[in-house]
Amino acid sequence: MAVDEMPPGLWLIGIGPGDLEHMTEKARRVARGCNKRYLEGYTALLPPGQEDLLEGVVGPWNRIMRPEVEEPKDLLLEAKNSAVALLVVGDPMQATTHIDLEAHCIEQDVSFEVVPGMSATTLAVSLSGLQSYRFGRQVTLPYPYGEYLATSPLEMIDANYVRGLHTLVLLDLDPTGMGFDPPKPMQPGEAVSVLRAMVEKFIEESGEKESLEVPVDEWDGILLSDIGTEAQRIVSGELGEIANVHDGLIHTLILPSDMGPNEKEAFERRRM
């Protein structure tokens, strides 16, 4: 098959949520036509089995981590005179890091092109059985860093709940917060433990208990594991039950607010 040569510049290519079969033909064509390919390895994670197949789909590639993307001097020097592909799991422009990368390219007069990909966050909402228009602001649940534990994600979850909005919760991939090492996806039990600790800290610091009087283990939740792969699994139940799920690599959590009749039926169909 002939390969179309891409013009010089940085090509930000979404490769879908975890299974390379979800990668669009345009994404494949553009990636093959670039002179150099990097897989961005810290905002999202490609399952190891799919990573093994990537070279056969797009050609030889190297991994690139947070420092080289957030301080992209070398990356942009390459892209000035040749076509460079930055492969991103999911849809690339959902990450602030990649929006900043666009700004760097404009400042340094480097051509910047985006090839969108299927987003795991969009799939999560669809697969949950909940109504998309009833979702509030999504949050990321971070690992605790030493003695520091942020409570702002909990405050956003609570604000969504009070307004009758569901919350899509992305689970952290990096225990160090530095973006140097390969990701270590947060598991369901860890996520529930972090939420418990956040509630305890929030109540201790604010003295407010009314809106958080239901124990975390009794909160309703929907766990979506390995979205977009053959191992995909969606289960609902109380968080105390979800904490005992040990299968799967990458997980996303949805915390529903008050559900309508159709949403309640969908929730029950997914119950563990």
177 has pLDDT over 70:
no
Q: Is the separation of the CB atoms in 173 and 153 below 8 Å? A: no
Please state, rounded to an integer, the average pLDDT across all residues of the chain: 92
Domain boundaries, the chain: 9-118, 121-269
Q: How many angstroms separate the CA atoms of 228 and 124, rounded? A: 9
pLDDT tens per residue across span 155-176:
999 999 999 999 999 999 887 7
Instruction: Dig out the tokens for 182 from the structure.
Output: 């390969």
Closest among 74, 61, 50 to 13, alpha carbons compared: 61
pLDDT digits (tens, 9 = 90+) for 80-123: 999 999 999 999 888 788 889 999 999 999 999 999 999 889 99
Higher pLDDT, 225 or 184: 225
CATH superfamily of 9-118: Tetrapyrrole methylase, N-terminal domain (3.40.1010.10)
Euclidean distance between CA atoms 41 and 73, whole angstroms: 18
Give pTM, 2 decimals: 0.89
| Fold entry, domain 121-269 | 3.30.950
